[in-house]
Amino acid sequence: MLQDSELMDRSRPSKPILLAEDDFDVRESMAGLFELDGYKVVTATDGDDALDRLREGLDPCLILLDLMMPRKDGLQFRAEQLQDPRLASIPTVAYSGYSSLRGRASAMGLGTFIQKPVDFDTLLDIVERHCKPD
């Protein structure tokens, strides 16, 4: 017989969410909230870190992408993501504190853009649409 925790694990996807966010507090808060809701989360501190994780074989159900990060920002990440057919097919949602980036995000094929501060319920709805249980 399955234990309650095993039933919970079966109701969530086996693929993790990749969260690319440079702000430590925001990254840890968001990851913690998703984990409390039963999701697996892999974090990255910028676009380079996120690309490294993906190129090492990470296969997330969704990428949550902050557009303003050091080293490689979200738009630079997206440009490289689109050059690799395996990575280009991963659903990606952009967010930023700068609403002026909405148009650039849309031009890069990022159809979903969320303005910071992020409403977690809205974000959770998006995650649930992309990360359906196995």
Provide the CATH number for the domain formed by 16-128 in this structure: 3.40.50.2300
In the chain (134 residues long), the average pLDDT of successive 10-residue segments reads: 42 85 95 93 97 96 94 93 95 91 88 88 91 74
Segments making up each domain of the chain, as ranges: 16-128
Q: Which phi and psi (to 5°) does residue 41 adopt?
A: -135, 135
Say if residue 16 is preceded by a cis peptide, omega within 30 of 0.
Answer: no
pLDDT for the residue numbered 12: 62
DSSP 2-23: --HHHHHHHTS-SSPEEEE-S-
Question: What's the confidence (pLDDT) of residue 6?
Answer: 40
pLDDT of residue 8: 46
Q: What is the pLDDT of residue 5?
A: 43
* Structural tokens at position 126: 């998006």
19, 30 contact by CB (below 8 A) = yes
Query: What phi and psi values does residue 88 have, to the nearest 5 degrees?
Result: -65, -25
